[in-house]
Amino acid sequence: MAWMNPYYVRPSEVGDVVDVATWSSRKAVNSSLIGLMVCAASVAAAVYLWGPGFVVEGEPEDLAQARKDYGWAFQLGVGFLGLLAYWCLAVALSSLIVFFHPSYYFRAGPGGLSVRVPNGPCLSTLGLTVNLLEFDMPWDEIQRWWIVEERPLGGVSRSCYSYPSFVNVKTFAGEEFSIPTEYFRESPNIIVSKITDAQEMEVPTFDEEICADAT
């Protein structure tokens, strides 16, 4: 049985816990930059589609004519791009907030899970606030937990820097929680491995610490 290093132990409502994932501010910055770039590209495309009279040097004549003849279809495209730009801007702003306030953690111990992580931007405030997922849950309330990885590009996503991943938790009461892990340094598999190890750890008592030092 493994012992918890008292230096890394943190108190919680489910007893002593240790970090099973390391917060990465760099990933928050990367997410913000990607959101800003996609937002800028969406706005540029929307401006291009919005005005049929908008002339682009080197634009094929048939495409320019299509923008005039099917203006309603292009306006639908403008609406979609506007929503996309709104969402990407919210993600970028919320990621910046997460970067400047990195008071988040993902911890586990023999008594259960202790979680405080950002859970996406609050769209009503344009990402100026972040939805928070925070709970302390003992193991005897958890029915099962598993990894979920979203890879929209299939196998190509494996070479991407980061992609959405979650540790899903289902309770005996039927509730389900999705804990996002993309802002942590470790991969989901490593996080799960650390959770499993933390379940079997024990915090040494004062006498046990003295005996360990003596040996």
Q: What is the pLDDT of residues 108-127, one digit of tens each?
A: 999 999 999 888 777 677 66
Which amino acid is residue 51, in one-letter code?
G
- Are 20 and 179 in contact by the 8 Å Cβ rule? The answer is no
Per-domain residue ranges for the chain?
A: 18-23+104-214, 31-99
Residues with Cβ < 8 Å from 35, sequence gap 6 or more? 88, 89, 90, 91, 92, 95
CA–CA distance, 215 with 205 (Å, rounded to integer): 15
pLDDT score for 164: 63
pLDDT score for 209: 47
CA–CA distance, 49 with 99 (Å, rounded to integer): 35
Specify whether domain 18-23+104-214 bears CATH 2.30.29.
yes
Q: What is the pLDDT of residues 21-40, one digit of tens each?
A: 988 878 778 877 888 888 88
pTM flag (> 0.85): no
